[in-house]
Chains A and B, each alone.
Chain A
Amino acid sequence: MIKKSRKLGRGVAIVGAGVCKFGTLKGRSSRDLFVEAFNEMRASVDKGLEIKDIEALYVGNFSSDFFEGQGHIAPIMADWVGLVPRPATRVEGACASGGVALREGIIAIASGLYDMVLVGGVEKMTDLPTERVTDTLGGASDVLYEVPAGFTFPGLYAAIATAHMNKYGTKVEHFMKVAIKNHNNGALNPKAQFNSTIKDVMASRVKKAQERGQPVPTWENEMGFLKDDRANPVVAWPMRLFDCSPITDGAACLLLVAEDMAKNFTDTPIYIIGVGQASDVALHDKEDLSCIGAAKEAARQAYDMAGVGPEDIQIAEVHDCFTIAEIVATEDLGFFKPGEGAKAVEDGVTARDGAKPINTSGGLKSKGHPVGASGVAQTVEVWHQMRGEAGPRQVPGMDIKLALTHNVGATGGTCVVHIYERR
């Protein structure tokens, strides 16, 4: 393993960020979502942006080929925001496509090749029926050996969950608490697909039953609702519907510039001080099934470059494609010891008003998971929080100077970690 410390050739800063509204967006294709995110990004550049100054585009996208029947989307995205003839590159790393695109954009500026780069992520998923989406996402695992065994994407994370439960005594209630927390955060995020708490969901189910003259369901509390097989059916045990991130249409954009130019665009740029990426084997080949090795290695690289440790990070957006994934992420990143991520959720440490707020955006669970866009959208959330612009979901009483994002492809075949600083 290469353990030599690495630094960027020159500093890189984020000076603009935007996301489109996430959800099931009928009649709108990936280019429409991308334009919406781009326009929000443009409006976020405090001192204005000359679009013609953007020199290149890196766009994360997992599978527009299967989802929309459209390959080769990078030049289309470039065209729709007026960047032609600038080079446009599509980056694929399953659900980490967006994070990997960001890393490529950073490398392009750090190398000196460009001064200003647009990084985007986009996925239009809801045109396909659920079984076809399941098949397409399954394509991010090992199709020769995992798919014939009957594994689905939720199934692979469910297997990680059983290994975690067996090794550390983690309970299904811990997974449910992640869902409750992230829905609480998503309820405060107008861009979220599920802009509602679990309690809101329960109330709407009751209302719907009343309107239809059906028997009105009663649940003691949120846990009662989440344990109800009818209200919250099993997808792949122990992962139930509310343990899974949804199928989402969405896009996100970031504007990156060389550090020495950053103040020309804003007085509060967000600097990228740590970058890490790693790969890993198929789930069955992992020595330890209860963690994600690529996350540990990507985090090690990012902490090393940034010169900070997990204890210094104030907030993080982590890849909660499934509730178990958030617990594992907070352990892999070193926020909590292995096996103690579940207790941290239970104790409220990772809540928005806790000591280590995780997924203030609502996470993939509640904000939605347009796979190629998610890694970029995580950075958009951190940008808002670090600049104190997150509105009602702004972390209370915390001057956020250091934040982290963690973006995973499939079961950890790819993981990207970024660390951000506000100076």
Chain B
Amino acid sequence: MEREFTSASFNEFLGEKKLMASKCIKCGALYLPPRPLCIKCFGTEMEWVEMKGKGKLAAFTTIAIAPTLMLEEGYGRDNPYCTGVVELEEGPKISARILGVDAKKPEEIKIGTPLAVDFVERGEGEGKRTFLAFKA
């Protein structure tokens, strides 16, 4: 059976190292994050489409004052991390962690940098979670 077009399914796919979007069967509109209702034609028939995982950096930041989620991963004041908005070759943009750049030298990070999808795994067993990332 087709998985529901929810964030839970999106995350489940990330766990399988797949970046999946939903595509409206009626009008072809592509949604990442996936959604169950097409907001262009209001059709409700969707299908899953895997993204090639190629894109470029559209906007970014390097964060020193981190939220709890990232503090728990060891990031913070002395260990900033980069996050950004990635524009995929297929068109949609998505928020993701940015790897392979020096978060301590933000002046050197360039918008337009080509990126490839990557997956960050955290936790074990039941608590295991996979986060979307892109690597320079």
Tell me the A residues contacting B by CB distance below 8 Å: 130-132, 134-135, 138, 142, 144-152, 154-156, 158-163, 166, 233-239, 282-286, 289
Residue of A166, A237, A285 contacting most chain B CB atoms (<10 Å): A237
In this complex, what residue of A is CB-closest to B31? A285
- Given the known A-B contacts A159-B60, A283-B95, are A149 and B132 also in contact in the complex, defined by CB atoms under 8 Å? yes
Interface residues on B, range: 20 to 34
Q: Are A150 and B80 in contact (CB under 8 A)?
A: no
Q: In the bound complex, do residue A159 and residue B64 qualify as a contact, i.e. CB atoms below 8 Å apart?
A: no
User: Is A159's CB under 8 angstroms from B59's CB?
Assistant: yes
Q: Is A237 in contact with B67, judged by CB distance below 8 angstroms? A: no
Q: Which residue of chain B lies nearest to A282 when distances are taken between CB atoms in the complex?
A: B95
* Candidates B65, B93, B132; contact of A236 at CB < 8 Å: B65
Q: Is the CB of B33 within 8 A of A149?
A: no
Asked if B65 contacts A154 (CB within 8 A), the reply is yes
Across the interface, B111 reaches (CB within 8 A) one of A135, A151, A166, namely A166
- Contact between chains at B70 and A160 (CB < 8 Å): no
- A360 smallest CB distance to B (angstroms): 29
Verify if B36 is at the interface (C-beta below 8 Å from A). no
A149 touches B7 (CB 8 A): no
16 contacts between A and B (CB under 8 A): A131-B67, A145-B94, A150-B75, A151-B61, A152-B63, A152-B65, A152-B66, A158-B61, A159-B59, A159-B61, A162-B60, A234-B64, A236-B63, A238-B61, A238-B106, A284-B85
A152 to B111, CA, bound (A): 19
- Closest B residue to A157 by beta carbon equals B61
Q: A135-B68, A152-B67 are in contact. Are A162 and B97 (CB under 8 A)?
A: no
Residues of A within 8 Å of B95, CB to CB, are 142, 145-146, 149, 151, 282-284
A155 close to B7 (CB less than 8 A): no
Besides the contacts A150-B69, A150-B83, A162-B61, what 19 more A-B pairs have beta carbons closer than 8 Å? A130-B65, A132-B68, A144-B7, A149-B84, A150-B67, A150-B81, A150-B97, A151-B61, A154-B61, A158-B63, A159-B61, A162-B59, A162-B60, A163-B59, A233-B77, A234-B106, A236-B64, A237-B62, A284-B95
Q: Which residues of B contact A150 (CB under 8 A)?
A: 63, 66-67, 69-70, 75, 81, 83, 97
How many whole Å from A288's CB to the nearest CB in chain B?
10
The answer for the CA separation of A148 and B97 in the assembled complex, in Å, is 8
